[in-house]
Amino acid sequence: MQYTGSRRILAVILAFIILAAGCLSETARPGDRGGVVVAVSILPQAEFVHAIAGDRAEVIVLIPPGANPATYEPTADQLTALSRAGIYCMVGSGLPFEQIYVPRLAAANPAMRIVNTSAGIDLIDHDPHVWTSPVNAVRMVRTTAEALAGADPEYAENFRTNASDYEKELVSLDAELRSLTAHITGRTFIVFHPSWGYFAREYGLVQVAIEEEGKEPGPGHIAEVIDLARREQIHVILANPQFSRQPVDAIARQVNASVVDVDPLSEDYAGTLLFLARTLAGEGAS
């Protein structure tokens, strides 16, 4: 594979980290200093790890707030920190960042265990946002808890107990979301980037994206979305902070709709999903 620009620099950094990781003593591996070092791709996963392990885990989040997982490149500091990780809990559902970097990160730290937290989940083609369903999040939490238990056996039962308690919170969240979405009369909602497919599937909704296969929409598609919004009387359009609002604002002006930012990568997992449901139900639009 040919590297250009910043990716060539990253390749060089990774080469140095491979050497550094090989030189680490066993006492620098996870489990030392009374805990385990866990790498995750996104902020919602960091919440999962904290709920399971608390201060027993040091969490390295690779995709920072506001970054686009399709284009983000890890920094040298992140790659250096990753050389200490014993576990990388990848989302595992086709996140572009992971498809590009997980093989390289694994090569940089061969001792790091790669865990696919989407194992056993019915995936939607071309939609990596598996965590936007709390039912899926329960599976992800269980998988993460078992990985942590294996890395830090002394605290394994604590991790499993904490995971069970957190799963109960997710089940309650799911019940509240079902109640909120049951009252939505129009079952179709419009988004810029198709981030909410798993949420839509879970609660019987239909997501329509302005973006076309990762590209800016053409005039024909914009016209179709405008016709849909008018026909379905859609008054709220969802935007993502990781993407330009220009096409969303243009369509919203045509149909007199509000634009609401909802971040699928927010660190406030439950709060974000509740805000989304209330917005779609007409309770949280602004």
CATH architecture of 6-176: 3-Layer(aba) Sandwich (3.40)
Q: How many helices and strands in the chain, by DSSP H and E?
A: 10, 9
Contact 21, 110 (CB under 8 A): yes
CA-nearest of 61, 193, 66 to 127 is 193
Q: What is the mean pLDDT of the chain?
A: 90
Confidence of residue 33 (pLDDT cuts 50, 70, 90): low
CA-nearest of 30, 51, 15, 16 to 267 is 51
Residue 16's pLDDT is what?
A: 44
Q: How far apart are CA 282 and CA 26, in angstroms?
A: 55
Q: How many CA atoms lie within 13 A of 115 on its CB side?
A: 26
Contact 184, 88 (CB under 8 A): no
Sheet containing 87-90, strands listed edge to edge, beginning at the edge strand earlier in sequence: 57-61, 36-40, 87-90, 113-116
Relative to beta strand 57-61, strand 87-90 is unpaired
Element containing residue 199 per DSSP (H, E) = helix 197-202
Element containing residue 239 per DSSP (H, E) = strand 236-239
Relative to beta strand 30-33, strand 87-90 is unpaired
Provide mean pLDDT across the span 204-218: 91
Is 25's pLDDT higher than 90? no
Contact 95, 41 (CB under 8 A): yes
Domain 183-280 of CATH type 3.40.50.1980:
yes
Is 284's pLDDT higher than 80? no
Q: How far apart are CA 286 and CA 253, in angstroms?
A: 15
Query: b/e string for 12-35 if b means 16 or more Cβ within 10 A?
Result: ebbeebbeebeeeeeeebbbeeeb
Contact 273, 266 (CB under 8 A): no
Indicate if the alpha-carbon torsion angle 237, 208, 206, 72 is positive or negative: negative
CA-nearest of 120, 124, 122, 64 to 97 is 64
Confidence of residue 285 (pLDDT cuts 50, 70, 90): very low
Is 12's pLDDT higher than 80? no
Q: How far apart are CA 281 and CA 161, in angstroms?
A: 35
Supply 47's token pair: 């919440």
Contact 237, 251 (CB under 8 A): yes
Helix, strand or coil, per DSSP, at residue 34? coil
Is 19's pLDDT higher than 50? no
Decide: pTM greater than 0.85.
yes
Residue whose tokens read 């997501």:
207
Residue 91's pLDDT is what?
A: 99
Residue 283's pLDDT is what?
A: 74
Residue 114's pLDDT is what?
A: 98
Q: How many CA atoms lie within 13 A of 148 on its CB side?
A: 36
CB neighbour class for 67 (10 Å; exposed up to 12, middle 13-18, buried from 19): middle
Looking at the chain, which residues constitute the CATH 3.40.50.1980 domain(s)? Answer: 6-176, 183-280
